[in-house]
Amino acid sequence: MLASAPPDHYELATRLVLADTNVDSLLVIFIPPLVTAPKEVAEAIVRGAAGAGKPIVATFMSAQGAPAELKAIPSYAFPEAAATALARVVTHGEWRRRSRGAIPVFTDIRPEVARNIVSGVNGWLPASATQRVLSAFGIQSAEMVQAETEDEAVNVAHGMGTAVAMKAVGPTILHKTDVGGIALGLTGDDAVRRAYRNMRARLGEAMSGVVVQRMVPDGVELLVGATSDPNFGPVIACGTGGTLVELFSDVVLRLHPITDVDAAEMINELRGAPLLRGYRGSVPADEAALRDVLLRISALIEACPDILELDINPLKVLAHGTCAVDARIRVGSVTVPPSRRVIY
């Protein structure tokens, strides 16, 4: 069309393009020349689009914007914004057509055990209680034993008969790495004693004891968990884990409850997903086991709505199975709405 095209040309071109079976949507761009009135062009576009049943957007590139006569046809100041809007419509359509999946029913979980542990608690669960809650829902954790004294820590480590990790325990110790409350790969009594004494000297009375835990070699470190959003209720999270989780900001969220399709999509959307799939010759990790953990966490939140925050970081995804290396659970009275999500 020429710049001087009259309104009738806009009407005819709009009708012909929309009638083409090879066209799914239409963007009409109008830059007002001196000889054509924007109002009349807008009316012509509306007539041409009548009854088409296809998405149509417009761009009237003028200081006054689109005339009121354009009515229900969305108009944007620049073509790029209009094209982005059409792209979002396509993405939304694909999302609407996708399978919603299903919420699995686990026959090996023990909801009553988890509920009894969290009942009446207000605050962070002890490490041993957190491990029992996870175990009740079939989420495997690395073997660990709490020790109150240096000698107890040595005896526990000696009994495990392998390299161990030592983690400081205390009501104010949440991010152990930040305060020097973790020692890894300890072998032998002397190493365990040195680690304990260093932590005690560093943390003082803030450390009420330690957890001695069997080391879990290899595996891809991820974060999985749940939190309570004040507007949406429970939200399930999956992200690249370890000590750099805040730096990478590679976390995907879904409203609770999640389906098997949601769990798969969460993993696929991670920037760190290639790490699970044999990145640079490494052994591929067990993605099916990771999906299973995400679904079990959703089932746990359903059974125990008093859990306000659950954080497993890292969850090591191994060649076969997964293992929770560090976990926290915060319990309290529910002050957020239940999930509004409905799975049909």
Q: How many angstroms separate the Cα of 131 from the Cα of each of 90, 247, 326?
A: 44, 27, 9
Give dist(CA 14, CA 27) in Å, integer: 9
Give the end-to-end CA distance of the chain in Å, rounded to a whole number.
48
Q: Looking at residue 276, what is its pLDDT?
A: 94
Ranking 139-143, 278-282, 318-322 by mean pLDDT, the lowest is 278-282
When pLDDT is averaged across residues 8-34 and rounded to a whole number, the result is 91
Token pair 């109008």 is at which residue? 30
Q: Looking at residue 166, what is its pLDDT?
A: 94
Q: 7-97 belongs to which homologous superfamily?
A: Succinyl-CoA synthetase domains (3.40.50.261)
Instruction: Spell out the domain ranges in the chain.
Output: 7-97, 111-140+217-331, 144-214
Q: What are phi and psi of 126, to 5 degrees?
A: -60, 160
CATH architecture of 144-214: 2-Layer Sandwich (3.30)
Q: Looking at residue 338, what is its pLDDT?
A: 63
Structure tokens at 15: 């009708």
Question: Residue 223 has what DSSP assignment?
Answer: E
Flag whether pLDDT at 72 surpasses 90.
no
Flag whether pLDDT at 168 surpasses 70.
yes
When pLDDT is averaged across residues 260-284 and rounded to a whole number, the result is 93
Flag whether pLDDT at 227 surpasses 90.
yes
Flag whether pLDDT at 95 surpasses 90.
no
Q: Looking at residue 218, what is its pLDDT?
A: 85
pLDDT band at residue 131 under the 50/70/90 scheme: very high
Q: Looking at residue 3, what is its pLDDT?
A: 76
Q: Looking at residue 342, what is its pLDDT?
A: 64
Flag whether pLDDT at 196 surpasses 90.
yes
**Residue 54, SS3?**
coil
When pLDDT is averaged across residues 277-290 and rounded to a whole number, the result is 93
When pLDDT is averaged across residues 167-192 and rounded to a whole number, the result is 89
Q: Looking at residue 294, what is its pLDDT?
A: 98
pLDDT band at residue 331 under the 50/70/90 scheme: very high
Please compute, for residue 11, the number of CA atoms within 13 A of its CA located in the half-sphere on the CB side: 13
Flag whether pLDDT at 1 surpasses 90.
no
**CATH of span 111-140+217-331:** 3.30.470.20
